[in-house]
Amino acid sequence: MAFRPNRVLPKFADLKTILSQSKNTDDPLYQVIQEIIERLSAFQFDTGTLSSDVGTGGGGGGGTGNPVDASYFTKQDETLALPNSLQLLTRYGLKADNSVANKQTIDLDLEYLGNYASGPLYSDGDVVIAPDGIAYLCVRPTTSPPTPWPGIGVSTVVGPPGPQGPPGPQGNPSPAVDAFYWLVQAHAALPNGRPVSGTGYVRSTLGEPSVVASIPLTDTTGILPDNRLTTNVALKNIDNRFVAQTLAAGTTVLGAGSVFAFVDLGAGVDGKVWRLITDGPGNMYLQGLNDAQTAVTQNFAFNRNGFMTAAGFAGDGANLTNLNASNLATGLVNPARLGSGTANGNTILYGDNVWRVPPAAAAFPSGLIVISDTPCPVGWTRVNWDGFFIRSGPVIGATGGAATHTHGLGTLSTNAHNHGGQTGNVNIGISGQTGNAGSHNHHFDVTVGGQTGGSLGNTNRADAGNSFDVPVVGHLHAATLNGAGDTQSVGDHSHSFSGSGNGTGSISSESIGMQGSVAAANNLPPYLDIFFCRKD
């Protein structure tokens, strides 16, 4: 005979009393647990003996009439006696308690997590101790702290018993074909059976079972481990790699020194990484990094007022304003940007920022040459006649002359002349004495005129309490010396003299030539360099 459980109704009144204390009858979990308790309270399990025990009018041994080949959920593996039976197992938040003989209690797998801590997501069924020392049961996924229950019993760990629940439905004295069963598949002998077939998880909706492919979050408790998640689920504690994504409006990067990086793996060496980063004072930087992300290669800095620094700018600059022209360091400004009108060799820029032909320039025909002591103005071209004196000639532009001149050898001589005289030996002897002039003296009358030497005109230092300089102007002193008188009278006296000489030859008429040559002489008189400017 097959296994026949005790027909005595299980007693779940204690579970219903505990459940009634939650008072949250609208919660899906409350309803599921209540339905499980109701079903288990009314559940009676009995099998026929064997196929020969099925009521055939042959007496049997008190057979029940339940078919052996029906589909049942069993506590143990009863497939030997009930080939279509399935062993009932519990998982995902439910556990079976077999501590009482001949009874199996289905209970929530509540997880005790100790003291409450803010931050993590708590699941349905988690138990925590709040700061008031009372244990709280989480009835839905939440991050909120425990909320004290305002009714009776919150001030003590164990509250008063709840109200008596309604009596369960009266069971049939024997397994009846009109009872409600959850079946693996439909059976003709159990018209009220509810087949639960297919692959998935069993779900009860107001007592009607169904099979779902996955367990909704509202129907489970606890937290799935990371290794039970698919690779498509992003985790907070690892570097997730996403396919192309779209960020919704209001997406925010939080944290001090927030960074948002862009990495182009197809770019060249040290050109793959750009990032946006903020700093403590509230500035933002657009930075280019090397491939190792250890050094900043480009840096564009922004603050609340605009650009602070940048390696360079490219573009038309249409929206740049309030630029300081004194900061222009390279390049030339396009003349057309300096004023209106036509900027060319015949115009100049006036103070009203207009390019105009100057009045004087309009009176000068093209080709006219003028002398200027400054570089040629706009509309004029300097003529390169450096080193030439200008003269009028029949051929315009002809050149000639030389910078120096010289006098050649033998080109200079003196006129012919003679001194007269006798050729041959000439002896000359001279002697004598002056006459005695008697006692006499010599009168003199002398006037000497002139001037003293000029002063150098130095500057001398004077000090009379405060030092100062006194310049001495250069000057001369005129001087005149007058004198007259007689020399001392001397008695009679005379002066003797003598001399001799000899010579030969004669002196004839001749022309004396000059030897050597003169050095090259500069033809240039004192000069002043100027510019010659030709009108364009």
Range from 92-96, 161-165, 170-174 carrying the lowest mean pLDDT: 170-174
Predicted local confidence at residue 10, as pLDDT? 54
| Residue type for position 344 | N
* CA dist 388 → 53, 369, 397, 523, 533 (Å): 148, 15, 11, 12, 15
pLDDT digits (tens, 9 = 90+) for 165-175: 787 776 555 55
pLDDT for the residue numbered 293:
92
Those residues whose C-beta lies under 8 Å from the C-beta of residue 283, and which sit 6 or more positions away, are 301, 302, 303, 308
Predicted TM-score (pTM) of the model is 0.27
Q: Do residues 48 and 2 touch, judged by C-beta distance below 8 A? A: yes
CA–CA distance, 292 with 42 (Å, rounded to integer): 70
pLDDT band at 222 (very low <50, low <70, confident <90, very high): low
The whole-number average pLDDT for the span 325-337 is: 85
Q: What is the pLDDT of residues 7-54, one digit of tens each?
A: 454 555 666 667 666 666 677 777 777 777 776 665 544 433 333 443
Question: Could you give the CA distance from residue 37 to residue 60 in angstroms, rounded to a whole number?
Answer: 35
What is the pLDDT, as a whole number, of residue 289? 95
67-71 mean pLDDT: 79
CA-based nearest residue to 184, from 104, 71, 82: 71
d(CA 494, CA 492): 7
Give the per-residue pLDDT at 34.
Answer: 75
- Give the pair of three-digit tokens for residue 535: 């009108």
In the chain, % of residues over pLDDT 90: 8
Which residues on adjacent β-strands are paired with residue 298?
Answer: 288
Average pLDDT, the chain: 74
- 69, 20, 49: which is closest to 189 by C-alpha? 69
As a whole number of angstroms, the distance between CA 385 and CA 294 comes to 65
DSSP characters for 215-236?
--GGG--S---GGGS-TTS--T
| Candidate ranges 19-23, 28-32, 192-196, 410-414; pick with highest mean pLDDT | 192-196
Q: Could you give the CA distance from residue 271 to residue 16 in angstroms, rounded to a whole number?
A: 69
When mean pLDDT is compared across 60-64, 197-201, 344-348, the lowest value belongs to 60-64
Query: Which pLDDT score is estimated for 416?
Result: 63
pLDDT at 417: 61
Count other Cβ atoms within 10 Å, centred on residue 300. Answer: 16
Q: Which of 117-131, 496-510, 515-529 has the highest mean pLDDT?
A: 117-131
Q: Which residue has the tokens 């009679």?
A: 492
Average pLDDT over residues 99-112: 72
* DSSP letter assigned to residue 326: G
Q: What integer pLDDT is reported at residue 276 of this predicted model?
A: 93
Cβ-contact 272, 291 below 8 angstroms: yes
Q: What is the pLDDT of residue 358?
A: 79
What does the pLDDT average to over 87-106? Answer: 70
How far is it, in rounded angstroms, from Cα 474 to Cα 487?
Answer: 41
Most confident region among 280-289, 471-480, 501-510 by mean pLDDT: 280-289
Least confident of 87-96, 219-228, 259-268: 87-96
More confident residue, 184 or 438: 184
**Residue 339 near residue 354 (C-beta atoms within 8 A):** yes
Question: Using an 8 Å Cβ cutoff, are 294 and 273 in contact?
Answer: no
pLDDT for residue 111: 77
DSSP character string of 481-518: EEEEEEPPPB-S---EEEEEEEE------B--B--S-P
User: Span 288-305, mean pLDDT?
Assistant: 91
Q: What is the mean pLDDT of residues 452-480?
A: 62
Q: What is the DSSP letter of 57?
A: S
Phi, psi dihedral angles at 335 (to 5 degrees): -55, -30
Position 159 scores a pLDDT of: 55
Q: Which residue has the higher pLDDT, 480 or 187?
A: 187
**Domain extent listing, the chain:** 1-112+141-234, 259-314, 335-383
